[in-house]
Amino acid sequence: MIFSESGCFPLKKPFVTLEQLRAITARYPTPFHLYDEKGIRENARKLKAAFAWNPGYREYFAVKATPTPAILKLLREEGCGADCSSLTELMLADRCGFSGADIMFSSNDTPPEEFQLAARLGATINLDDFTHIDFLKDTIGAIPETISCRYNPGGTFSIGASEEGFQVMDTPGDAKYGFTRAQLTEGFRKLRALGAKHFGLHAFLASNTLSNAYYPTLAGILFQTAVELREETGCDIRFINLSGGVGIPYRPEQRENDIAAIGEGVRRKYEEILVPAGMGDVAIFTELGRFMLGPYGCLVTKATHFKHTYKEYVGVDACAANLMRPAMYGAYHHITVVGKEDAPCDHKYDVTGSLCENNDKFAVDRMLPEIQSGDLLVIHDTGAHGFSMGYNYNGKLRSAEVLLREDGSTRLIRRAETPEDYFSTMIFD
């Protein structure tokens, strides 16, 4: 583990320097989300290499994580598809050049117009519930030849303390998603009778896991289930979608996942379960969002106010409307005072925004270097579920998004909202 020279926290370095950031903020006023093109492309290539043993492998990026056209096009250039979960996400994927088998549509409680658009685009539809079979047939007139179903095994999913030292636990039985095991068998039979020829199986059992064992464990469950389903129904299972759940280390002391080791673990399960069953041609899909983008985006903000009451507060020009996770989940996001990476962390602050809510805090009792007015702060790991979860409470306007290109130049990829945008949907008459 690497520590800063001050020795007060493990080092988590921004992908941008103070000199670069000063030049960028001279063009684009804070706050804004900044993305690292070089890091995104390198990570997409590492993922692809980790699953290169499977000829049909495809990553379907979770559009909900970062629904930004420039980012989606960048990932499409790297061979990724798009995982969509709503009407507008389907429209966005279409406008970014994804079509047909490039799109996976995984939705729940789905309105008819969303199934209709998914069918028109030729997307692979991943059904969330047994009752959606008749609903889909009635909505689009027929069951597509290729269809997928989401599996929820119920109960509690757990991997005990792994070699990485982390325990993975979640409760699928409390989740609103997916078919039961019995419903899968009945559903596959019914879909086949209604004209489906090729099938996929999907599951998501835990979120933001920091364990190289999660994907292989999930793969083992899905591979065994796929073998059983083929025996029970005779259906042609063409792909198995491991969905998301591979996490990132938000805290600097956490160890990151090794995607090569994860891919190798899935390969071993594949050869142990699917190959002996004569299913060695099944394609593996993933639907990663956080892993793909999280570390390669940050929220850049400026210190503007200081308050000395019962605690020491630093007010910044960003707020929870720009990054909801800390306010919503109490989530940790590391903060770097840019240019002071090696200064002693001898000041305890709450770092706050300006919303009329007491949970509008990016950090609570955080040890940081002394912060002065105008200092630039980088809030790490906002590349996924950062900008996308923004909102307009208190009339706050959504910030810009900027891409740091591989050559060091920058490109505005989403302008900041204006008051005219805010008022555009209001009716005053």
pLDDT digits (tens, 9 = 90+) for 234-288: 999 999 999 999 999 999 999 999 999 999 999 999 999 999 999 999 999 999 9
Mean pLDDT over all residues of the chain?
A: 94
pLDDT of residue 161: 46
Question: DSSP state, 246?
Answer: B
CB of 195 closer than 8 Å to CB of 142? yes
**pLDDT at residue 1, as a whole number:** 42
For 170-227, the pLDDT digits (tens) are 677 676 889 999 999 999 999 999 999 999 999 998 889 999 999 999 999 999 999 9
Domains of the chain in sequence order: 18-35+295-423 (2.40.37.10), 37-293 (3.20.20.10)
Banded pLDDT at 168 (limits 50, 70, 90): low
β-strand pairing of 81-84 with 103-106? parallel
Q: Which residue has the higher pLDDT, 96 or 156?
A: 96
Residue 166 above 90 pLDDT? no
Asked if residue 28 has pLDDT above 50, the reply is yes
Q: Strand 297-308 relative to strand 376-379: parallel, antiparallel, unpaired?
A: antiparallel
User: What would the mean pLDDT of 124-131 be, rounded to a whole number?
Assistant: 97
Cα–Cα nearest to 11, from 334, 268, 247, 364: 334
The Cα 185–Cα 414 span in angstroms is 45
| Length of the chain measured in residues | 429
Residue 422: CB atoms within 10 Å: 14
CA angle 64–331–61, rounded 5-degree value: 20
The answer to whether 289 touches 64, Cβ cutoff 8 Å, is yes
Spatial CA neighbour of 98 closest among 81, 75, 85: 81
Look at residue 328 and give its three-state secondary structure: helix
pLDDT at 160: 58
Quote the longest CA-to-CA distance of the chain. Answer: 70
pLDDT at position 150 over 70? yes
Residue indicated by tokens 């720009």: 322
Residue 170 confidence (pLDDT): 63
Residue type, 87: L
CA–CA distance, 218 with 370 (Å, rounded to integer): 45
Q: Which tops the pLDDT comparison, 4 or 414?
A: 414
Residue 165: pLDDT over 60? no
Round to whole Å and give the CA distance between 265 and 132.
Answer: 34
Per DSSP, what are the bridge partners of residue 62? Answer: 83
Mean pLDDT of 393-401: 96
Is residue 157 very low, low, confident or very high in pLDDT (cuts 50, 70, 90)? confident
Residues 6+ positions from 177 with CB-CB distance below 8 Å? 108, 128, 150, 152, 204
Side chain identity at residue 322, one-letter code: N
pLDDT on residue 223: 98
Q: Which of 323, 322, 305, 313 is nearest to 396 (CA)?
A: 322
Q: Looking at the predicted structure, is the pLDDT value of residue 155 above 80?
A: no
Q: Average of pLDDT values for 61-72?
A: 98
Round to whole Å and give the CA distance between 150 and 44. 25
297 closest CA partner among 322, 315, 316, 320? 322
Percent of the chain with pLDDT over 90: 90
For residue 31, cis peptide bond before it (omega within 30 degrees of 0): yes
- From the list 84, 235, 298, 356, the catalytic residue is 356
Phi–psi pair at 101, nearest 5 degrees:
-70, -5
Q: Which two tokens stand for residue 298?
A: 């940050």
Q: Is 8 tagged catalytic?
A: no
Contacts for 20 with CB less than 8 Å, ≥ 6 apart: 404, 408
Please state the rounded mean pLDDT for residues 317-341.
96
List C-alpha distances in Å: 331 to 25, 111, 198, 368: 26, 32, 41, 18
Structure tokens at 101: 């088998």
pLDDT surpassing 60 at residue 290:
yes
